[in-house]
Amino acid sequence: MSESTQQPIIIIRKKKVSHGGHHGGAWKVAYADFVTAMMALFIVLWLMSTSDVVKKAIAGYFRDPTGPGQQTGSAVAGTGESLTLSKSQMANLKEKLEGALGQVPHFDALKNNVEMTVTGEGLRIELLENEKGMFFESGSQKPSEAGRDLLVELAKELGKLNNPILIEGHTDSRPYNNDTYSNWELSTDRANQSRRLMQESGLRQNQVLQVRGYADEQLRDPAHPEDASNRRVSVIVLYRPPMEPVPAAPARPSTAPPSQTAPAAPPAPEKTSPSVAAPTPAKPSPATAPAAPAKPSPAPAIHAK
């Protein structure tokens, strides 16, 4: 074979490029940041669409999730803003309390002695006694086991609210057989014992405004003053206090007296067209008349002798 027909030898050398091994977890960090940002976005969108009640509860949790207060905003305690019910929401509270009290043991035997009514001052919850003593031992301020369970459950639910609480004690007209202890003391002691038990179980210390004892002055059944239903303890959830209106600014007194009117402005002088007026001759001033010449006095006559 001649040299002209011999094909050249081609050598192909492949360059091996090294990628530095495994990429590591950088992409995972970026992906985690993206997912976290998306989750935060959807949480913000959800919060913007929720009601004010939920917003206050969540805000209370983030303010103090482990605080010692007894308010909404934490599964433990929280010291955020609690919920305040207005007059239009008391019916919903009544239904919620009825459902919560249903969890009390043997509530079926107690429900006929628990009455809830929406009145002019708030939601009135009355625990009515029977002849044997349903919620308190007969003639005593000590609550029974059923009464204790019911008051504890009420305190758990009412402690979530910001509405103030009143507690009242009432008795029937049967006289108390004790010279130093009467129905006045019994009604007051039962109301105060209920207050103490409820504050230990869920009510805030400043939530109870008043503890009242009425003895037999406000009978539930005036036609039967000695009926056992007149012996009762009433827990009243007051409405939210109305906002005080902003007083209107006092009217600014006018400087002019009311009986006098401002004087009318004088009429403006009429404008005349500019015309050349004929000069008026100057009035001659009166000349001083020349003084008359003095008349010579006659000479004395001379007589000859």
- Predicted pLDDT at 207: 92
pLDDT tens, 115-162?
988 888 888 999 999 888 889 988 889 999 989 988 998 998 888 888
pTM for the model stands at 0.52
pLDDT tens, 12-27?
877 766 655 556 678 8
pLDDT tens, 210-229?
999 999 999 999 999 999 98
Mean pLDDT of 178-198: 92
φ, ψ of residue 72 to 5 degrees: the values are -65, 145
Per-residue pLDDT for 186 more than 90? Answer: yes
For the chain, residues classed under CATH 3.30.1330.60 are 87-238
Across the chain, the runs of DSSP E, i.e. the strands, are: 114-118, 122-128, 165-170, 208-213, 232-238
Pair 47, 58: CB distance under 8 Å: yes
> What dotted CATH number matches 87-238?
3.30.1330.60
pLDDT tens, 37-71?
999 999 889 888 887 777 777 776 676 555 444 33
